[in-house]
Chains A and B, each alone.
Chain A
Amino acid sequence: MGIVRTSDVVLIVTVFAASLVEMVEALTLVVAAGTTRGWRSALEGVAAALVVLSTLVLAIGVPLIHYVPINTLRVVVGAMLLLLGMGWLRKAWLRSSDLKAKHDEDQVFRDTVSRLSSTAKPAAGRDGVAFAIAFKGVFLEGTEVVLIVISLGASSHRLGLATLAALGAVVVVAVAGLVLVRQLSVVPENTLKAIVGVFLCSFGLFWVGEGSGMGWPGHDASLLVLIGIFAASTLVAGRALRRDSVAP
């Protein structure tokens, strides 16, 4: 039995939550394409996108682990995660105070269905529109997941674990999609995005510190402190911004 490290647990949670959010967005488009244009072509689009994304993880992630010095990799990856995390966290702060519209999957679904219904379906064979919408949805949303999987997996030499966490989220979303079908808004997407933003910022700062040689006191355990700092800041910022927005 191996020892479970704090960074492994945080890695699994981060990749799983990020993948969950992105795949819910992709699922909206897949369900819209499937119900309006036919499931066969939509599912073929999903399969093709998953093959391309898996190839990307193998083609980029494995050489990164083997050929790039670990400290350089950690600083570069940390910087990328930090950049990504600040973007997610900023959106979460803005959404919590209604300065930015909350993401509404039901609205996206309705818009996509109405757009897809207006174009003619082929009499037989593959429906190119359904294939393209499903492929694009999974590929575009999945690219960010691939980036997170490669970044977190490569910097901690846990590419397999990160990939499994992402695949776990894909399975959960697929099952949830079968059960919920059109009620995707029940997924607390905006909250999940805030959590992922907190984790990405924490991981990013952690790896920049470790890779630069500065190091964090307590090593992996300091990740929990960073998560606590960013989570507390998100709560405080949300409250302060909400209070300001309702003040006369």
Chain B
Amino acid sequence: MIRRALRSFGEFWWNFLIGDTPEFFFVTIVVVVVAYALHRERTVGVIVLPVIVLGALALSTLRVRARK
């Protein structure tokens, strides 16, 4: 029972973090790294961070469309 619970727990986090969109996991790491790197360059940061997220969303969506 404990093994099953641990497996379900692991599966939940795998699906949550990676799932069928591993690109979002890597983009999230990139966003965090960039935010720390630009913490003294706020003007650049407030433009770059949303652009990274929107770029990732667009690419991921286009990838699905290309597959269809």
In the complex, A81→B39 CA distance in Å?
20
In the complex, A86→B32 CA distance in Å?
15
In the complex, A86→B61 CA distance in Å?
11
Could you give, for residues 11-40 of chain B, a 1 whenever the CB lies within 8 Å of some chain A CB and a 0 otherwise?
Answer: 010001101010011011101100110110
**Neighbour of B46 across the interface among A82, A99, A212, A217, CB < 8 A:** A217
Consensus secondary structure, chain B interface: helix
Q: Is the CB of A99 within 8 A of B50?
A: no
Q: Is the CB of A212 within 8 A of B36?
A: yes
Q: Is the CB of B32 within 8 A of A79?
A: yes
Chain B proximity of A217: nearest CB distance (Å): 7
Q: A87-112: which residues lie under 8 A (CB-CB) from chain B?
A: 87, 89-90, 93-94, 97, 99-100
**Neighbour of A93 across the interface among B38, B49, B61, CB < 8 A:** B61
- A51 is an interface residue with CB less than 8 A from chain B: no
Number of interface residues of B (CB under 8 A): 32
- Please, which residue of chain B has its CB at the minimum distance from the CB of A212? B35
Q: Is the CB of A209 within 8 A of B57?
A: no
Residues of B with C-beta under 8 A to A138? none
Residues of B with C-beta under 8 A to A83? 16-17, 24-25, 28
Sample of 9 more A-B contacts, CB < 8 Å, known A87-B24, A94-B64, A99-B65? A83-B17, A93-B57, A143-B12, A205-B31, A212-B32, A212-B39, A214-B45, A216-B46, A244-B65
Residues of A within 8 A of B (CB): 75, 78-79, 82-84, 86-87, 89-90, 93-94, 97, 99-100, 143, 147, 201, 205, 208-209, 211-217, 222, 226, 229-230, 233, 237, 241, 244
